[in-house]
Amino acid sequence: MRMIKMVKDEMVEKETVKDKVWTEEELVAVNDELESKSPQEVIRWVIENFEREEFALACSFKELVLLDMLLKEKPDARIFYIDTGFHFKETLDLKKKIEETYKITVERYEPEVTLDYMEKVCGPKLWETDPDKCCTIRKVEPLRKVLSTLKLWMTGIRRDQGQTRANIPIIGWDRKFALVKISPLATWSKKQVWDYIMTHDLPYNELLDNGYPSIGCEPCTHPVVDGDDDRAGRWTGHKKTECGLH
């Protein structure tokens, strides 16, 4: 009888934790707590506090460190990507490899607007004439749609990836998309990422070996030279430095 009560209490407690609606203030406190934790501990915090359907990892198919860590903790975790229609062949090859290696299906989301229709309405090469608009149509709006179904999204962004990311929290309220955002690798360095890749023999995007430290859509991603900021090859010739997701 006592055992049944304990199990019931545990279930009620679990339900209460997972039903919780996090306030911005609470997330600041959680962030302080997670600052000194390893990425795996941060991931475990997510699994303890959110149901499977409530969170997902946004994958950019550059390297697989976070994906590998997440799937080791939760093999059925949700992984998704936005198919802008402009991914490099190397990026899509890596997606296929991930699905075969981990035996998962990466959820695919796409813009409502086809490339033909976008060209008809906005003119040719929108990524050159108005990259902000192009990103809004092909990345931000599809992402908004996915995130509206979630309570938390997980990203692989890090503080050492450039000025615009230098102060990102590990966890916080994402006001733009109205849900919790968590970046378990925020405090990691590029060296730590590569050490993990080598130690665990993980596949990675071949473009990383060819001068592309940051990989996005093909028309807007160029190789960089040594000493450049990792994101210097994105939207070269434009003031734009982020696609509007982060």
Give phi and psi for 192, each to the nearest 5.
Answer: -60, -40
Tell me the residue ranges of DSSP E strands in 110-202: 152-154, 171-174, 179-182
Instruction: Please count the residues of the chain.
Output: 246
Q: Which of 135, 147, 185, 193 binds ligand SF4 (CB under 6 A)?
A: 135
State in angstroms the smallest separation of the CB of 240 from ligand SF4.
Answer: 8
Size of site (CB under 6 A) for ligand SF4 = 13
Is 139 a binding residue for ligand SF4 by CB under 6 A? The answer is: yes
Does 134 help bind ligand SF4 (rule: CB under 6 A)? Answer: yes
The reply on whether position 172 binds ligand SF4 by CB under 6 A is no
Q: Indicate if 135 belongs to the active site.
A: no
In angstroms, the CA 228 to CA 131 distance is 22
By CB under 6 A, name the one of 216, 231, 233, 245 that touches ligand SF4: 216
Q: Does 233 bind ligand SF4 (CB under 6 A)?
A: no
As given in the structure block, the two tokens for residue 53 are 């359907």
Residue 56: beta bridge partners?
78, 153
Neighbours of 239 (CB within 10 A): 7
Closest separation between CB of residue 221 and ligand SF4, Å? 7
Residue 58 near ligand SF4 by CB under 6 A: no
Q: Which residues have a Cβ under 8 Å from the Cβ of 225 and sit 6 or more positions away?
A: 211
* The residue type at 218: E
In the complex, what is the shortest distance from the CB of residue 140 to ligand SF4, in angstroms, rounded to a whole number? 9
Task: Tell me the closest approach of the beta carbon of residue 128 to ligand SF4, in angstroms.
Answer: 8
> 112: which 2 tokens?
């409502």
Q: Is 82 in the site for ligand SF4 (CB under 6 A)?
A: no
From the candidates 134, 135, 220, 243, which is the catalytic residue?
A: 243
Token pair of 3, please? 């055992």
- Strands 171-174 and 179-182: what pairing? antiparallel
Q: Which is nearer to ligand SF4, 182 or 245 (CB)?
A: 245
Coil, strand or helix: which one is 200? coil
Q: Decide: is 86 part of the binding site for ligand SF4 (CB under 6 A).
A: yes
- Part in contact with ligand SF4 (CB under 6 A); list of ranges 10-18, 88-96, 130-138, 201-209: 130-138
At residue 126, φ and ψ (nearest 5 deg) are -60, -30
- Applying CB under 6 A, the residues found at the interface with ligand SF4 are 84, 86, 127, 131, 134-135, 138-139, 216-217, 219-220, 243
Query: What is the set of active-site residues?
Result: 243
